[in-house]
Structure 1
Amino acid sequence: MAGKFATSWALVKASAAVLRSDRELLVFPLLSGVATLLVVASFALPLLATGGLAHLHDVTARSGGGFGVAGYALLFLFYLCQYTVIFFFNTALVGAAMMRLDGDNPTLADGLRLAWSRLPAILGYALIAATVGMLLRALEQRAGLIGRWVIGLLGVAWTVATFLVVPILAATDLGPAQAVKESAKLLRRTWGENLIGNAGISMAFGVLFVAIALLGGAMFLASGSHSLAVNGVVAAVFVLAFILLGLIQSALQGIYSAALYRYATVGSAGDGFEATTLAQAFRVKA
């Protein structure tokens, strides 16, 4: 366990070193966050304005949790739009990270240009992911407690199997179905420990998020007698801190996935990553 923790921390530090050398990579998750909020607003605001949200709630209540045909169609369209936006900017981030690992100095335009050139494949993968998400959601609503647990495991398995799809889309001209197969193929050849670095990033930032939340709560309790303006400034500072941490975490995960894909395919992660460290996180089966 100690060895895995050390490897995980080494991968986090290597990803952070790459990010320090190219802070422009933070812009991609920022753009992704803004775009996803716009997608949410484009669905939520019309529903609120027309009373469609209340209608969907009534249909769900009458059917015991089901959305109805119109509800499922709307949810599928929402999934499709959200996944397209997320995969587009993730592809731009991972593509730019791969350029950096090659020793280049990519710009924001370079990453966006790469993602735009992969748009048909990104749309196809978003369609596949939305379909899988809808099927799992529909099955979960009709399953009992044990069934939901099993479906949850299926969702985790899908996430693991598709972990390298975005790097594959960024690095190759494969179509979406072929990219999913290639991702699963790469993972089947490993012990599954290639997620150590990603888990390390999530764990490290989980601790930071909790620490900031506790600090923020303590400061609010201590400043209870202060003016509303002071409390508002404190709240804004902590919200910005959460947003910044989220951006850094997303960027590090993109960098790590790019390095991991490179190591899995060519045996070298590129600048900033030591082969011995990644070898411990990505061990090929005998």
Structure 2
Amino acid sequence: MRLLQRLKTGLVLTKDSLSLMNNNRSLFVFPAVGGIAGLTFLALFFGVTFGLLAVTMDGVMIVGLFFSYLALTFVTTFFSAGLVHQTREVLGGNDASLKRGMAAAWKVKGHLFVWSLISATIGLLINAIENSESRVARLLGTIFGVAWTLMTFFVVPVIVFEKSSTTGLFKRSAETFKQTWGEAPITLVAINIVGAIVAVPFVLPGIYLINTGVGIVGIGLVLSGVLLSFLISQTLQGVVKTTLYLYARDGKRPEEFDNVDFDDLTNESAGRSTTQTPSYGGVQ
């Protein structure tokens, strides 16, 4: 498949994923609950941190911040796993369920924690490099950050559906990305664009009101835009990566994506072993 065709496929996939989300709005509950849980943890953590700041050593603070980042990463990954699992259920013609999604994520909590630990560590390292005074280091940090995001794009679906070993997570995620090297990046870009489009009608008026002295209303609009953008972007990303993963792995087309040209992925996955392939309803 030519590059332009892959890019087109990624855009159509994003559009159809938005339609799927609109028809199954219960999927939004996963990033919503995950976001609330993460914000609650942050409030508790920083409340205790600032309360003890006067008697806390810098080294302890750094350790505390790392563990807070780890906890937030785990919470986000946990609810993302539930979303991925329930997206498959929706593609199979079933209704999404927070309870079933959380139960599925709990079954792989160990794998999710290990991945969160790795992700938090690498994330902090990338952030440190990107904030370096060296322009070369910042450039390398940005390049590595993008490569890391793409290479690990399918880690959560691999954990949920395959329960691979730690090394297997990266191998399977990288293999799946290799099959979707055009679609995956363009969907990431499209998701960010969708998030920005959702936020702009709230953020711009909010900034204007803040600058004109109506601070409370302005701040409320900005926060509403940011939260709505987060909710839609996270849900859309879960739907997209699940759909791409399932099709790249099994070569089965979800009925909701009949107009998406997955032919090249079918050809690439045809020769691969499917001994671990589960069956899904609602796919052809």
Q: TM-score range by the shorter chain?
A: 0.7 to 0.9
| Aligned counterpart in structure 2 of residue 164 of structure 1, from 154, 157, 164 | 154
Q: In the alignment, does 2:98 pair up with 1:108?
A: yes
Corresponding residue number in structure 2 for 1:84: 74
Higher relative contact order (CA 8 A, sep 6+): 1
| Aligned counterpart in structure 2 of residue 10 of structure 1, from 5, 9, 12 | 12
Contact 2:202 2:224 in 1 (8 A): no
Q: Where in structure 2 are the equivalents of 1:226-237 lying within 5 Å?
A: 232=216, 236=220
Q: Where in structure 2 are the equivalents of 1:259-274 lying within 5 Å?
A: 259-274=243-258
Tell me by how many angstroms 1:117 deviates: 0.9
Letter in 1 for 2:109: L
Q: In the alignment, does 2:234 pair up with 1:247?
A: no
Task: Give TM-score, length-normalised by structure 2.
Answer: 0.80
| Aligned counterpart in structure 2 of residue 127 of structure 1, from 92, 102, 117 | 117
Contact 1:26 1:247 in 2 (8 A): yes
Q: CA RMSD in A?
A: 3.2
Letter in 1 for 2:235: A
Please give the alpha-carbon distance, in whole angstroms, between the structure 2 residues aligned to 1:76 and 1:164: 24
Tell me by how many angstroms 1:45 deviates: 1.3
| Distance change (3 Å), C-alpha of 1:134 and 1:216 | closer
Corresponding residue number in structure 2 for 1:66: none
Letter in 1 for 2:145: G
Contact 2:34 2:79 in 1 (8 A): yes
Please give the alpha-carbon distance, in whole angstroms, between the structure 2 residues aligned to 1:15 and 1:211: 22
Once structures 1 and 2 are overlaid, which stretch shifts more, 192-201 or 139-148?
Answer: 139-148
Tell me by how many angstroms 1:284 deviates: 5.0
| Distance change (3 Å), C-alpha of 1:280 and 1:124 | same
Letter in 1 for 2:52: T
CA distances 1:109-136 after superposition (whole Å, capped 9, x unpaired):
1111111111111011111112222333
Tell me by how many angstroms 1:140 deviates: 5.0
Please give the alpha-carbon distance, in whole angstroms, between the structure 2 residues aligned to 1:253 and 1:124: 22
Q: In the alignment, does 2:137 pair up with 1:147?
A: yes
Tell me by how many angstroms 1:54 deviates: 8.6
Q: In the alignment, does 2:53 pair up with 1:51?
A: yes
| Distance change (3 Å), C-alpha of 1:133 and 1:235 | closer
Tell me by how many angstroms 1:22 deviates: 1.5
Contact 1:12 1:197 in 2 (8 A): yes
| Distance change (3 Å), C-alpha of 1:53 and 1:36 | farther
CA distances 1:172-227 after superposition (whole Å, capped 9, x unpaired):
22233321221012223443442222221211221332243224445x389x69xx
Tell me by how many angstroms 1:143 deviates: 6.3
Corresponding residue number in structure 1 for 2:107: 117
Contact 1:7 1:277 in 2 (8 A): yes
Contact 1:190 1:284 in 2 (8 A): no
Please give the alpha-carbon distance, in whole angstroms, between the structure 1 residues aligned to 2:52 and 2:45: 11
Corresponding residue number in structure 2 for 1:99: 89
SS at match of 1:277: coil
SS at match of 2:243: helix
CA distances 1:70-95 after superposition (whole Å, capped 9, x unpaired):
34422321222111111000000111
SS at match of 2:256: coil
Rg larger for: 1
Once structures 1 and 2 are overlaid, which stretch shifts more, 30-39 or 242-251?
Answer: 242-251
Please give the alpha-carbon distance, in whole angstroms, between the structure 2 residues aligned to 1:143 and 1:216: 33
Structure 2 spans left out of the alignment, 5+ residues: 270-284
Contact 2:191 2:233 in 1 (8 A): yes
Task: Give TM-score, length-normalised by structure 1.
Answer: 0.80
Tell me by how many angstroms 1:19 deviates: 1.2
Once structures 1 and 2 are overlaid, which stretch shifts more, 192-201 or 177-186?
Answer: 192-201
Identity %: 27
| Distance change (3 Å), C-alpha of 1:53 and 1:24 | farther
Q: Where in structure 2 are the equivalents of 1:161-240 lying within 5 Å?
A: 161-217=151-207, 220=209, 232=216, 236=220, 239-240=223-224
Please give the alpha-carbon distance, in whole angstroms, between the structure 2 residues aligned to 1:138 and 1:241: 29
Contact 2:13 2:260 in 1 (8 A): no
| Distance change (3 Å), C-alpha of 1:279 and 1:240 | farther
Structure 1 spans left out of the alignment, 5+ residues: 57-68
